[in-house]
Amino acid sequence: MPPIRIIESRNAAALDRFLRPRAQRGAAFERRVRRIVDGVRAGGDRALVRFARRFDGMSPPLEVSVREMRTGAARVEPAVRRALAQAAEHIARVAFHQIPPHWDAAVAPGVWVEQRVEPLARVGCYVPGGRFPLPSSLLMTAVPARVAGVREIVAVCPRPEPPVMAAALEAGVTTMFRVGGAHAIAAMAFGTRLLPRVDKIVGPGNRYVAVAKAIVAGSCAIDFHAGPTEIVVVAGTGHASWIAADLVAQAEHDPEARSIFITWNRTLARRVATALRDLSTGRAIAQRALSTRGAVIVTRSDREAIELANRIAPEHLVLDGEALARRPLTAGSVFIGRMTAPAAGDYAIGSNHVLPTAGAARFRGGLSAADFVRVMSVQRMTRDGLARLTPTILSLARAEGLTAHAESIEIRLK
């Protein structure tokens, strides 16, 4: 592996080149994905099965029965089943606090507003099945949905290995299908005879999944457009090997993963660069990601380091202490202190690891139980309450030229 790049923040041109967003997928690729989506929308189950055979190597039946899930789960080592149970418990504990509260407020005498929170009826959880089975991703999507009160949880996975089946049972999945890619997204968005239409699609996936979610977003709610994983570590002190280990851990996900260490300590910068080379040896995916998307950035101060991290708005932000954490932060998820390893968040802390990437943390956080509910305003008024608001309503309605609005108020008070 070539030496990890070290960039000085004062070299603005080099820094800008490194941080410049990757080019979006081309129009030709989007057309290819759209053909798959349109094919399933028009062709239903026949098209879905055809694509599943072609892209996933699927052998019927499409649906994974509860009996099959139980048989698969029984093959999972007891230690793994216990780990899934504890992870699910922690995710549920956090998710419970994420549900928006119901409340009633008296706005004025005779005027009340209620916030009513209702769960979505049916959601679809996408579980990647590429390089590795990812039962943790199923827990992170299905458990918050269950806690939010969703009655039907549909999971799709192109190759549901036994640990994924065990996670499905632990999370409360109601139906599972062995299908993935853009065709699975289309089926959940529009529905087929076998695979029901859902109200919202959540979960990470490859570039086909990301583009398909963007295409169907006008017809079905999605969580967000997730890309390759990202981590930014900001530290001025610490163990170089620990810092490097966190960066390599994220880099092993994907050759396009971005791993960045930002520091104002030149000695630590060199030590981390060396540790990255050593720890990634023999890990082809991590080496490729670090060589193309990894860097150590040396800033002039800790303040500049945080400003740069916020500019990146990473999926994972790791800080070596509370002093840095007291500043305004922009990230999908923040890990504070040397013992708070991001990998712990991936599996066991209970915070969600389905997180925004590519700068989307500027405007939203990770997946939560709040993503699985509808928040509605419910209004109630008495005659006296309406009379009290009438001068305000009539003035604004007439200022906007909407005379029928004004008349709808006046007719009630005559």
Alpha helices in 52-149 (DSSP H): 66-74, 78-98, 135-148
Q: Are strands 103-108 and 111-119 parallel, antiparallel or unpaired?
A: antiparallel
Query: Under 8 Å CB-to-CB from 241, ≥6 apart: which residues?
Result: 275, 279
What 3-state class would DSSP assign to 208?
Answer: helix
Helix (H) / strand (E) containing 43: helix 27-51
With the CA atoms of 211, 217, 222 and 225 taken in that order, what torsion angle do they form, in degrees rounded to the nearest 10? 30
Give ∠ CA 147-134-239 in degrees, rounded to 5.
Answer: 100
Q: Would you say how long the chain is, in residues?
A: 414
To the query of whether residue 183 is one of the catalytic residues in this protein, the response is no
> What residue type is 97 in one-letter code?
H
Annotated active-site residue in 316, 353, 400, 407? 316
Annotated active-site residue in 230, 252, 315, 353? 315
What 3-state class would DSSP assign to 24?
Answer: coil
DSSP result, 334-364? EEESTT--HHHHHHTSSS------TTGGGT-
> What residue type is 403 in one-letter code?
T
Contact status, residue 258 vs residue 231, Cβ threshold 8 Å: yes
- The CA–CA distances, whole Å, from 68 to 59, 156, 351 equal 14, 15, 30
To the query of whether residue 407 is one of the catalytic residues in this protein, the response is no
DSSP assigned state of 57 = -
Neighbours of 210 (CB within 10 A): 23
Of residues 152, 142, 162, the one with CA closest to residue 223? 142
Residue 282's φ and ψ, nearest 5 degrees, are: 85, -5
Longest dimension (CA), the chain: 83
Q: What is the rounded distance in angstroms from the CA atom of residue 129 to the CA atom of residue 127?
A: 6
Active site residues: 315-316
